[in-house]
Amino acid sequence: MKQAWRWFGPKDPVSLDDIRQAGATDIVNALHELPPGEAWTRRAVAERKAIIETTPPGRTPLAWSVVESIPVPDDVKRLGRGANASIAAWIASLEAVAAEGIRTVCYNFMPIVDWTRTDLDWPVPSGATALRFDNDRFAAFDLYVLRRPGAERDWDEPTRQRARRVLDSMGTAEVETLTRTIAAGLPGATTDALDLDAFRARLAAYAGIDAARLRQHLIEFLEEVAPVAQGLGVHLTLHPDDPPRPLFGLPRIASTAADYQALFDAVPVEANGMCFCTGSLGVRADNDLVAMAEHFAPRVWFAHLRATKRESDPMSFHEADHLDGDVDMVGVLRALSREDRKRPAQGKIPFRPDHGHRMLDDLAKTTNPGYSAIGRLKGLAELRGVLRAVETLA
């Protein structure tokens, strides 16, 4: 398996030399400066690739091996095949990536909001901080800040009461921070940053789109793009919903084994693959991650390895240390490593540590939430040790 690292480009406070020192060899990157729906050009991809792969004398080479992500525009999620121009632009971006020899593309199909948290620096007992999803804080935003029409139907009375108390305990600055955290997007998000009025308008545009309709739109998108990817020799990897359940009354359709199986049955071409994100899938107690890794192994072309920990309210969770939490990381790595050993060199599975704790010197630095250097360095070291043991004992 290939040890990878997410890098946000030249403005990332984590440098390419930092990544080399962490021991990673493969870079996960995207043209984050371009908005969803704008076609990437081969020239732009080549320029970014040159930055990553031009190795200074005496340095370890790095390879840009995964694009994460080419954003799927909102109209594709609402209209499916009817979003002709956006699908054409997405295919143009795919062709630009393939022309530069990058063979794995990650994407997601979450409507309006991408990965969602309520706290970006939640203290953990070690003194480090973690990303967290607090269900009551999220309900407070949905019910009393966003004031989403119909939100009260999605929350039971005890939760509504707790959410009211949470909001009453917050000052104006804390409410504004919560709003920015949820509505304005997080690092690597592939959806638009929205103010509250735009958020409500975007929600209204999804009226009548249930899980079946959203899944059909994803299938229509894949029917258009997966054969192109197959012809280009590129694997598409769908990232799970994060968290893997409906938010804001919107359906999510990449949360369980049944969700993925439905997509693979509908579009069976090899290019239609999976990003196996243990943290996202691990939020749900009914997801058996080891069984999923074993079953879907031939479809896994990229892996995010992190551990989430459900709290006393199982709808709340935080990012745990990479080998702790609710994820059997050893079992998952055993299954993925078994698959990886069957593959030729060009088919090896890249994995990256994800959502590390903010710790040590990074506590005094400006960092991208979840993507500070030292927490991910710790995670990669732990994962590397497990992987070495698994491969040695195989």
Q: List residues with catalytic annotation.
A: 239, 277, 304, 354-355, 371
Q: How far apart are CA 357 and CA 367, in angstroms?
A: 11
- Cα dihedral 35, 36, 42, 47, rounded to 10, equals 40
Instruction: Give the 3-state DSSP-derived string for the chain, with helices as H, strands as E and coil as C.
Output: CEEEEECCCCCCCCCHHHHHHHCCCEEEECCCCCCCCCCCCHHHHHHHHHHHHCCCCCCCCCEEEEEECCCCCHHHHHHHHHCHHHHHHHHHHHHHHHHCCCCEEEECCCCCCCCCCCEEEEECCCCCEEEEECHHHHHHHHHHHCCCCCHHHHCCHHHHHHHHHHHHCCCHHHHHHHHHHHHCCCCCCCCCCCCHHHHHHHHHHCCCCCHHHHHHHHHHHHHHHHHHHHHHCCEEEECCCCCCCCECCECCCCCCHHHHHHHHHHCCCCCEEEEEEHHHHHCCCCCCHHHHHHHHHHHEEEEEECEEEECCCCCCEEEECCCCCCCCHHHHHHHHHHHHHCCCHHHCCEEEECCCCECHHHHHCCCCCCCCHHHHHHHHHHHHHHHHHHHHHC
For residue 336, the tally of other CB atoms under 10 A from its CB is 24
Between CA 347 and CA 345 the distance in angstroms is 5
